[in-house]
Amino acid sequence: MASPSSPSPPDPESAGPDPVARGEGPSVPDPVDFQVRPYRPARWLPGPHAQTLGARMLRPSDGPASRRVRWDTPDGDFVDLDLGGPDTGAEDAPRVLLLHGLEGSSRRGYIRLLARELHARGLRTVALNFRSCSGEPNRKPRFYHSGDSDEIRWVVDRLRAQDPDAPLGAAGVSMGGNILLRYLSEPGAGVEGAVAISVPFDLSAGTAELEGRTTGRLYMRYFLGSLMEKVRQKEELLRGRVDMERLRRARNLREFDDALTAPLHGFGDAETYYREASSGPVLHRVGTPTLLLQARDDPFQPSGLLPEEAVARNHHLVAAFPGRGGHVGFVEGSSPLRPRFWAEAEAARFLAHVLGRDSA
């Protein structure tokens, strides 16, 4: 991990505190006594795409020590999880479930850095690989999708059964954040604190944003290529369940979701899937202390769709919406030789605070 540098002077564009919303409710006390530290974007990564791509290249490639376990699922499939924790004093430490983004895995730099930051604060981590994301195709035709809260519920319930006395938190990034927020909006969510970073709150609008811009289409082409490779690996399982010819003709994520994700997972079409799986419309139901970190210049989501009203009305939500940061970027520091990663650090600080492991 790169060594931290001394704080850089505030960028003129980001001087003063970040736009931070705290849901207070008209007469309900704020249950989360936490102040988000201001984000000061690295001057040498100007613009959302530089932040998005630069963060991916600059995050440390090596992760903390972990142990992989495989859990058989009730439907005859499996998921792989990476378990890790601090070197000492971890037996009764709180645990944090980590959820990666679209076509990511537990080996992504942002998941590994989250784990490292959490371990440094004395917390254990459980990094889930969504189905077919651990390096091995899953056994069933189904994949994963942006509204797959049932999978999260099953994992959380099993973690609870294994260690009922340990506090449990969760952190989701991008698609993983959307799934996490969907889960938190449902009755009986079993975590004490959560963080969601760079979330596509409106899946239809986010897909349209990618489709409508040249740079967005480049991101989309990357995701589509990765998804289609998995389709090829599972072609025999998929035959008879989806229209393979239509699927092969998919040229963007919306067409892919219309041909595979929606019909395979019980949605009528892509628009129905996007509507029913988006987290934005259900944020008012979240009853868990939750931190939202989202850049206004995120190229994966229109800035006008930030859930500021939902945050203002829900006293369980704390949010920071800085003007810059890109998608899962948020790089700070005076030099590319010594970058700092604001989102991962704030996520760990918040979770340690709400899970009783550290002071804010």
Q: Does 30 participate in catalysis according to the annotation?
A: no
More confident residue, 270 or 31: 270
Could you write out the DSSP letters of every residue in 107-152? TSHHHHHHHHHHHHTT-EEEEEEPTT-SSS--SSS----TT-HHHH
pLDDT beyond 90 at 100: yes
pLDDT the model gives residue 312: 95
Q: Please pick, among 82, 105, 298, 353, the residue that the annotation labels catalytic.
A: 298
pLDDT the model gives residue 4: 39
* Calpha distance 18→319 (Å, rounded): 10
Q: Please pick, among 146, 174, 198, 278, the residue that the annotation labels catalytic.
A: 174
For residue range 247-268, what is the model confidence (pLDDT) as tens digits?
A: 999 999 999 999 999 999 999 9
pLDDT beyond 90 at 21: no
* Inter-CA distances, 216 with 67, 174, 195, 305, Å: 36, 15, 25, 17
pLDDT beyond 60 at 23: no
More confident residue, 269 or 23: 269
pLDDT band at 10 (very low <50, low <70, confident <90, very high): very low
For residue range 204-225, what is the model confidence (pLDDT) as tens digits?
A: 999 999 999 999 999 999 999 9
pLDDT band at 15 (very low <50, low <70, confident <90, very high): very low
Q: Does 298 participate in catalysis according to the annotation?
A: yes
Q: Chain-centre distance of CA 160, in angstroms? A: 21
pLDDT the model gives residue 360: 45
Residues 297, 330: contact at Cβ < 8 Å?
no
Residues 70, 80: contact at Cβ < 8 Å?
yes
Point out the least confidently predicted range of 13-22, 253-262, 281-290.
Answer: 13-22
Pair type for strands 67-72 and 95-99: unpaired
Mean pLDDT of the region 39-53: 97
* Calpha distance 302→113 (Å, rounded): 27
User: Residue 48 has which token pair?
Assistant: 């959302």
pLDDT the model gives residue 9: 37
Residues 306, 51: contact at Cβ < 8 Å?
no
Residues 6+ apart with CB under 8 A from 79: 70, 71, 73, 128, 129, 130, 131, 134, 138, 151, 155
* Inter-CA distances, 347 with 115, 147, 291, Å: 10, 22, 8
**3-class DSSP assignment, residue 296:** coil
pTM for this entry: 0.91
* Calpha distance 209→216 (Å, rounded): 7
Which part of the chain is CATH 3.40.50.1820?
17-201+283-354
Mean pLDDT of the region 294-303: 95
pLDDT the model gives residue 1: 39
Q: Please pick, among 145, 316, 327, 353, the residue that the annotation labels catalytic.
A: 327
Q: Which of 30-39, 57-66, 89-98 has the highest mean pLDDT?
A: 57-66
Q: CATH classification of 17-201+283-354 is 3.40.50.1820, yes or no?
A: yes
More confident residue, 147 or 63: 147
